[in-house]
Amino acid sequence: MGNATTVMSLGGDYDATRAVALETRVARTDGVDSVDFNYSNNKLTVEFDSDRVSLAELEAIVMRERKHRTRSER
């Protein structure tokens, strides 16, 4: 089992609704053990099994959410 932790900075203001949606989406990913969103610095901490999910896959989820967020703000 490849236990790993990553901290992703999401930047900018992040409203609670979007943060909860992202946290839920990441938490439901196979191989993710825990997710914590820090509202004071907009950072997402993810503990995961790197044998089941890669860092690139987790980053892709965050990037898709960012693109969706950007489009919905227009």
User: pLDDT digits over 8-17, tens only?
Assistant: 988 876 778 8
Which CATH number belongs to the domain containing residue 10 in this structure? Answer: 3.30.70.100
- Please give the residue range of the domain that contains residue 20: 3-73
pTM: 0.83
Q: Indicate the number of domains in the chain.
A: 1
Q: Which has the closest alpha carbon to 10: 74, 73, 62, 70? A: 62
User: pLDDT digits over 28-68, tens only?
Assistant: 999 999 999 998 888 999 999 999 999 999 999 998 887 76
3-class state of residue 69 by DSSP:
helix
Helix axes 55-73, 16-27, angle to 10 degrees: 150
